[in-house]
Structure 1
Amino acid sequence: MESAAVTPPFVARPLRLTPFRALRLVPSRIGDPAASRLFARPYRDLASRLQTWEARGMITHDPEPALYVHEYTVDGITVRGLVGAIDVSSRAVRLEDRAILPHEGIYPAQADDLADRMEQMRVNPGPILLVQDSPEALRTLLAQVRRAAPDHEITDRSGHFHRIWAITDASVVAEVAELVAPTTALIADGHHRYAAYLRLQQRDLGPSADRGLAMIVDQSDTPLFLGAIHRVLAGTSVHDVEAAARTLGIRTTLRTHEEAVALLGPRTLVVTDTETWLTVHLELEGDRVEAEILHDQLVPSLGHGPSRVTFHHTAREALAQVEPDHGTAVLMPAPSVEQVQRVVASGRLFPEKATSFQPKPAFGAFIRSWRDEEPDPT
């Protein structure tokens, strides 16, 4: 059985993002789930597979280390981020010294497995996704970088458009480093990969393992969309939730389907088996968030179940899993980035799978090989 989620260690400031030589799949393979087979077992053979793909023209290898500005557009949402190798070699003890801010716990066994795979592959297959409100000076500097023609313009397998600028000028790299150093960044996606980076660094594998791969998105420039993740409580009825809320003094109201869906939003959950619809009205004190009330108070107070909790990125998916006497869906409001930042600033974590930052960068746009940074054995 999986161990309980724990808080991963904290990386200490300064935040360091350094150049690396990017590997990149050809456009027809970027975003292709089948391309992930490149990273299948045996992991130790990955180097020869990469060389074979490169020889066949299925993967490209940039000639020199760089930082990168990566801009991609998915379903009308354009996101830009700064991509580089992120230094994870120092640890923070105090909250105020943190450079990278996780907002969810991690399962140690999963992080260990990812670390083992990356150690065998000697590759970071893709960047973790970080968000911050970047300094205005950094925003201005990267806008100047984008005035030049992009080094790559790509339409990937899914029809999503990418533009990539490589930053190789030493003076610009140094200016970026100076502006990034005092900042902090929130993990939007990739908590277990982040924890794997820290485990690899602790194994004393050499300088390559002191860094991972990351993309920092300026939320004030091209904000990521933050969506809800809904729950299905197996073995629990709507009336079980209503009774638990009553014992806690939480107000609930039976509604029609249309009324309940219209009221879903901040401080209001919708609980349903698709026949009975209940709104749950929460009083949030301080910086508490809806998912905390659900998992810390409501679920422990249930008279029956849940025997299992599953997570769903759309209400449609959640509702498809329930019917009367066969589980209950809890439709959640989307948290705000400000809520996430307040919880993290206080030193707390969100419950498991409480946030969904979108759109994420496509697999294959950036790969980092440790071998590029290690001495040639010959």
Structure 2
Amino acid sequence: MHTRDGDTELSQELESVPPSPARPARLHPFRGLRLAPAKVADPSAARALARPYREVARRLASWQSEGLMELDDAPALYLHEYTVHGITIRGLVGALDLSTRATTLEESAVLPHEDIHFAQAGDLASRMYEMGLDPAPILLVHRGPTEIRSLIRDTADSLPDHEFRDGAGQEHRIWALRDTRQLQTIAHSLADSTLLIADGHHRYAAYLELQEARRPGWDRGLAMVVDQEDTPLFLGAIHRVLHQVRLDAVAQAAAATGRVTWNGDRMSALAKLGPRSAVATDGESWLSIEWSLDSEQLSPLEHLHGDVLPRLRSRAAAHGASGDASSPRLSYHHSVDSALEGLHGQHVAVLLPAPDFELVNRTVQGGRLLPEKATSFQPKPSLGVIMRPVPHTGD
């Protein structure tokens, strides 16, 4: 992912999220902690990482003594390859350096693409510190240079250190990278990269909160870096349901900036869903909303949150609603069928097109953030494949 020329100051939108470490992006070796294959994606693993969090370290130590967990003797970077439903993803897993701060967009090593709730990030920070564990890597994507892509492919052609199928059906292969030349190649190749957060915005914010509080061991945070040109993550849409909103009110709000067309049925409406258009329905009537290409090239999701929802709030306020009652309650759905369930003419589902990587890239390079739950990068690795212990006394 390439940054723009110039020395643009961070925009107001980007100042609303935690800062980025300054380039170069750096992944440090660490001692990987792995659950036994039988425990990966097993419900008991999730229970072991649940409340009370201060007991997590003791539970995991017990599992380690029983042979249900393994801690590597020496630090390494890891190549993790996982396959699910025919999609194979490969990524480099390391401890992302958080010790520096960028002051401009061009200096930023890591860029978020959607909003977060800071209270949720704070809860995650407290939880991870109490556990003494970084339980899963955040997913970062970039367009990797040829040098690092060749290293990854050559490594993937060799015999892995670990290979197994987990309880969720994911197939995993893991290589520990400790060779000095490999580590130097990775460091050199990542130096000019800007890494986009695909999944883990709140955990990333929690990392920085712990780092700024100078918690021992939290100058780094667990991350997996995926080359979107090599083994691309699939981007899916996340649809919205606006609760206790009428479809004609949505149509009126959307008509202020878009072209609204009423459609006779589901099939004809969904046929119009595309990069510049969304579909809305109350389960009985259907309409499509198309926005023209403008100078900012806003996506339908940005138009929904930036144009339609504010007009719905203003309309509700004008009719006497106040406080939270003037803001439509949103729920989020990863499938069309889930979004359409239970509308009964009382709620409105807004079906959105799946974004592509270029759209997300263009948005962050323009200094903007997408609304929360803007994208669904898939597939994600199962919990427990690679973790990073962070004891309170330091690494």
Aligned residues: 369
Q: Is the 8 A contact 1:13 1:97 kept in 2?
A: yes
Displacement of 1:372: 10
Q: Is the 8 A contact 1:234 1:306 kept in 2?
A: no
Q: Is the 8 A contact 1:20 1:66 kept in 2?
A: yes
- Aligned counterpart in structure 2 of residue 254 of structure 1, from 260, 263, 287: 263
CA distance in 1, matches of 2:72, 2:352: 43
Structure-2 separation of matches of 1:306 and 1:277: 23
- Determine whether 1:307 maps to 2:328: yes
Residue in 1 aligned with 2:130? 120
Pair 1:317–1:171, CA change in 2 (3 A): same
Q: How far did residue 373 of structure 1 move?
A: 8.5
Inter-partner Cα distance in structure 1 for 2:393 and 2:84? 33
Distance in 2 between residues matched to 1:249 and 1:295, nearest whole Å: 13
Q: What TM-score results when the alignment is normalised by the length of structure 2? A: 0.90
Q: Which residue of 1 aligns with 2:384?
A: 364
Contact 1:6 1:107 in 2 (8 A): no
Residue number in structure 2 paired with 1:221: 230
Q: Which runs of 5+ in 1 are unaligned?
A: none
Pair 1:237 & 2:237 matched:
no
Please tell me whether residue 104 in structure 1 is matched to residue 132 in structure 2.
Answer: no
The 4+ residue runs of structure 1 with deviation greater than 6 A are none
- Structure 1 Cα separation of the partners of residues 133 and 73 of structure 2: 17
Partner of 1:174: 184
3-state SS of paired residue (1:175) = helix
Deviation of 1:328 (Å): 0.6
d(CA) in 1 for partners of 2:257 and 2:124? 40
Scaled by the length of structure 1, the TM-score of the pair is 0.94
What is the match of residue 199 of structure 1?
209
- Asked if 1:39 corresponds to 2:59, the answer is no
- Corresponding letter in the other structure for 1:217: V
State how far apart, in whole Å, the 2-side matches of 1:247 and 1:16 are.
46
Query: Of 211, 214, 219, which residue of structure 2 is paired with 1:210?
Result: 219
Distance of aligned partners of 1:306 and 1:259 in 2 relative to their CA distance in 1, 3 Å threshold: farther
Matched position secondary structure for 1:165? strand
Q: Answer whether contact 1:284 1:290 (CA < 8 A) is retained.
A: no
Match of 1:292 among 302, 310, 335: 302
Residue of 181, 184, 190 corresponding to 2:200 = 190
* Distance in 1 of aligned mates of 2:272 and 2:43: 37
- Pick the aligned partner of 1:79 from 89, 102, 105: 89
Counterpart amino acid of residue 359 in structure 1? P
Q: Which residue of 1 aligns with 2:12?
A: none
Give 2:283's aligned residue. 274
Change (3 A) 1:373 1:134: farther
TM-superposed deviation, 1:263: 1.7
Aligned residue type for 2:195 = A
Query: Bigger shift: 28-37 or 336-345?
Result: 28-37
Structure 2 contact 138–200 (Cα < 8 Å) conserved: yes
RMSD: 1.7
The answer to whether the 8 A contact 2:237-2:354 is kept is yes
Shift of 1:51: 1.2
- Compute the displacement of 1:249 (Å): 5.2
Deviates more, 1:175-184 or 1:329-338: 175-184
Contact 1:255–1:279, Cα closer than 8 Å, also in 2: no
State whether structure 2 residue 292 is matched by structure 1 residue 283. Answer: yes
Q: What is the CA–CA distance in structure 2 between the aligned matches of 1:307 and 1:106, rounded to whole Å?
A: 18
- Which residue in 1 is equivalent to 2:154? 144
How far does residue 177 in structure 1 lie from its aligned partner after superposition?
Answer: 1.1
Offset at residue 331 of structure 1 (A): 0.4
Contact in 2 for aligned 1:54/1:60 (Cα 8 Å)? yes
1:332 pairs with 2:352: yes
Tell me, what secondary structure is at the counterpart of 1:263?
Answer: coil
Tell whether the 8 Å contact from 2:258 to 2:290 is kept in structure 1 after alignment. Answer: no
Q: Distance in 2 between matches of 1:284 and 1:300?
A: 21
